[in-house]
Amino acid sequence: MKLATLRTAGGSTTAALVTGAGSYLTLPALDVGALLAQPQWRLVVEKAAEAAADKDQASTEINLIAAADADLAPLLPRAGKVICCGLNYGDHIQEMGRELPEYPTLFAKYADTLLGANDAVEVHGSGRVDWEAELAVVVGSELFRADEDQAREAIGGYTVANDVSMRDWQSRTLQWFQGKAWDATTPVGPVMVTADEAGEEFEVRGYVNGELVQHGNTSTLVFGPAQLLSYISQFTVLRPGDLVLTGTPGGVGMGMTPPRYLEDGDVLTTEIDGIGRLENQFRIHAHAEATV
């Protein structure tokens, strides 16, 4: 099944199931993360779907939203952890003449960085805004010191993300955090495809104003989804609704000759077959920061 998080009229959000007809059936949870945190979440979804199918059942509140009316929120607006892996596409690493890494390169961001699938991205104070199309893994059940099989079982599903990076800030120091943790700059969505319905590998594509700039297949990941979750869980607990970004294939703007960055008005599209597409326009206000 495909699950989404929608903004509601009251300024809140709701989890929703994507129906066969492409509309959204609202579910009794604030977002996909809150839904997954309910151990019986599949039953909750089934019950809502049955109630919607049997429209005579007036006692149950049914709310179907047409695709055209849906306002997609960040898939996991309240994710406790958003952990990212860098340097993870083997073909790209090898074409650059580097050794495959022995350990995943990990860094953290907070849920405040996340943004909806079709939201505009406002950037104040960076002139080097770059793209990183990625497959993201949604944690479905709690795991700690899990082996790879346990980690595979704990995968809730998959979604699309773009780890938009402010390269000027990222390169100021050795630690990438300050180039990666800008509020409302990491689009994620439009849906989570549950692990049982997702394939084994994914084609990841990134486009700027319709031009293909990134293309990779997750079969070439050095550390696959279950390996990453297992590795991370050796030192920190992962909970339902946490998000792990698996890294980006070649073709980022920083790697071009000359380097290319997003400009005010550009549209970034991030797409994974079988999951969906993010389409985000950029508003870039490149004034300097106030201090330091």
* Smallest distance from a second copy to CB 234, Å: 4
CB neighbour burial string for 30-58, b if at least 16 within 10 angstroms, e if fewer: bbbbbbbbbeebeebbeebbebbeeeeee
What whole-number distance in Å separates Cα of residue 251 and Cα of residue 54? 49
Q: State which of residues 7, 49, 62, 107 lies at the interface with a second copy (CB under 8 A).
A: 107
- Verify binding: residue 174, a second copy, rule CB under 8 A: yes
- Verify binding: residue 68, a second copy, rule CB under 8 A: no
* Smallest distance from a second copy to CB 227, Å: 6
Task: Identify which of residues 131 and 169 has a Cβ nearer to a second copy in the complex.
Answer: 169
Task: Identify which of residues 70 and 151 has a Cβ nearer to a second copy in the complex.
Answer: 151
The footprint of a second copy on this chain (CB under 8 A) covers a number of residues equal to: 48
- Verify binding: residue 223, a second copy, rule CB under 8 A: yes
Lookup result for tokens 């486009």: 207
- Verify binding: residue 261, a second copy, rule CB under 8 A: no
* Smallest distance from a second copy to CB 222, Å: 10
Q: State which of residues 22, 71, 96, 110 lies at the interface with a second copy (CB under 8 A).
A: 110
* Smallest distance from a second copy to CB 139, Å: 14
- Verify binding: residue 215, a second copy, rule CB under 8 A: no
Binding to a second copy in span 225-254, by CB under 8 A = 227, 230-232, 234-237
Q: Single out the segment in contact with a second copy by CB under 8 A; choices: 11-19, 33-41, 79-87, 266-274.
A: 79-87
Q: Quick check: 137 and 229 in contact, CB under 8 A?
A: yes
SS (H, E, C) the chain: CEEEEEECCCCCEEEEEECCCCCEEECCCCCHHHHHCCCCHHHHHHHHHHHHHCCCCCCCCCCEECHHHCCECCCCCCCCCEEEEECCEHHHHHHCCCCCCCCCEEEEECHHHEECCCCCEEEECCCCEECCEEEEEEECCCECCCCHHHHHHCEEEEEEEECCEEHHHHCCCCCCHHHHCCCCCEEEEEEEEEHHHCCCCCEEEEEECCEEEEEEEHHHECCCHHHHHHHHHCCCCECCCCEEECCCCCCCHHHCCCCCCCCCCCEEEEEECCCEEEEEEEEEECCCCCCC
Pairing of strands 155-162, 186-194: antiparallel
Binding to a second copy in span 111-170, by CB under 8 A = 112-113, 124-125, 144-148, 166, 169
- Verify binding: residue 28, a second copy, rule CB under 8 A: no
- Verify binding: residue 285, a second copy, rule CB under 8 A: no
- Verify binding: residue 175, a second copy, rule CB under 8 A: yes
Site string for a second copy, 177-196 (x = CB under 8 A): xx--xxx-------------
- Verify binding: residue 104, a second copy, rule CB under 8 A: yes
Lookup result for tokens 């792990």: 244
- Verify binding: residue 12, a second copy, rule CB under 8 A: no
Task: Identify which of residues 181 and 192 has a Cβ nearer to a second copy in the complex.
Answer: 181
> Contact positions toward a second copy, by CB under 8 A?
80-81, 83, 86, 101-110, 112-113, 124-125, 144-148, 166, 169, 172-178, 181-183, 223, 227, 230-232, 234-237, 289-292
